[in-house]
Structures are given as C-alpha cells and as structure tokens.
Amino acid sequence: MISVLFVCLGNICRSPMAEAIFRTKIKAENLEDIIEVDSAGTGDWHVGKKPHEGTLSILRENNIESDGLVARQFQREDKEYDYIVAMDSSNEQNVMVILEPEHHGKVFKLLDLVEESDRKDVPNPYYTGNFQKVYDLVESGCSQLVNKIKKDNHLKEGNTYGKQ
C-alpha cells in the first residue's frame, strides 16, 4: 500500500480539503485499493474536530465527499507515510523538526509539484477566508500528486501496486 499524508497547521482547512480531493481523484483512477490517504496538523488546537465550515462548503459545492474527516496532530510515527505533503513552508519546517533526518526526503510542499504556479505555499483560508482560491490550488496540486505517485510506483489506472 502506498501512503500519503497531507499536513497543514490545524488540520481543519487545507489538509482535510486535500485529503478529500485526493481521495476523489484516486477513486476516479481506480487506485483507492493501492493508495491510502490521511491528513494531520502540526498544531493541536482542533484535534477531534470536523473541518472548518468553509472547507466543508467548498467540498460540497464541488461534489467532494467529506465524511470521516477529523482533525489530528502530526506525530513522529507519521514517518511511516511514503509521501508527506505540507501545505506551506512553515508546516514543512515543522514536520522536519519532528521527523528524524533520514525521513526528510519524503517531505515536500504540494505546490512544488505545480510548475505553472507562481506560489509555493497554499495560503491558509482560516485567516484569508478565500476557500475557492485554496480549493483551486489544492485541486491542481492533487492532480500532479496523483501523476507523481503513478510515475514513481509504475502504476496505471486500476492496476496493482508495483505492476505495469
């Protein structure tokens, strides 16, 4: 199983949005039995809470399923994930502090995958209120992440892990 973890600050806006969008994308490619996905926050303020209403609203508007999304805090044990995808530079640095150096290579920012993007950090809509802009950035990044994982692991739509 290939594992992906999205990380933001509180795990109520960007990372659960990415988790939900990414789940929809891997399901559309018949890869949900090969790729598992979760999200976490580097802070602990919202542990156990549902995503922000702005996140839930934009997901509903785009017919993205959001059931089962509950905030949790990033832990050292999360080093087991194959891909640890931070929403911004600050959370990328926070993750690096928590993880041992040998696991730093699996950590990167989502927008690093979007060559045409003029920004590398997904802004926090908790502060800006711009959930549509964040949705657009996350959706683009998740599309590129699916492509990266398929390429990295020699996957085609619906085939089994590691097979061509």
Q: What is the pLDDT of residues 45-67, one digit of tens each?
A: 999 999 999 999 999 999 999 99
Radius of gyration over every alpha carbon of the chain, rounded to an integer in angstroms? 15
How many Å apart are CA 61 and CA 102, to the nearest integer?
Answer: 40
Q: Taking the CB of residue 164, how many other CB atoms lie within 10 A of it? A: 6
Whether the pLDDT of residue 163 is over 50: the answer is no
Predicted pLDDT at 159: 55
Identify which has the larger pLDDT, 156 or 27.
27
Q: What is the pLDDT of residues 113-139, one digit of tens each?
A: 999 888 999 999 999 899 999 999 999
Q: What is the pLDDT of residues 16-54, one digit of tens each?
A: 999 999 999 999 999 999 999 999 999 999 999 999 999
Domains (ranges, CATH) in the chain?
2-152 (3.40.50.2300)
90, 91, 95, 96: CA torsion to nearest 10:
-30
Q: What is the pLDDT of residues 76-98, one digit of tens each?
A: 999 999 999 999 999 999 999 99
Average pLDDT score, the chain: 94
Task: Report the percentage of the chain scoring pLDDT > 90.
Answer: 90
pLDDT-derived band at 160, boundaries 50, 70, 90: low
Predicted pLDDT at 137: 97
pLDDT-derived band at 158, boundaries 50, 70, 90: low
pLDDT-derived band at 157, boundaries 50, 70, 90: low
How many Å apart are CA 134 and CA 130, to the nearest integer?
Answer: 6
Whether the pLDDT of residue 146 is over 90: the answer is yes
Helices (H), the chain: 14-28, 53-61, 89-98, 125-128, 131-152
CB under 8 Å to 89, separation ≥6 — which residues?
A: 109, 120, 121
Q: Per the structure block, which two tokens stand in for 23?
A: 């789940």
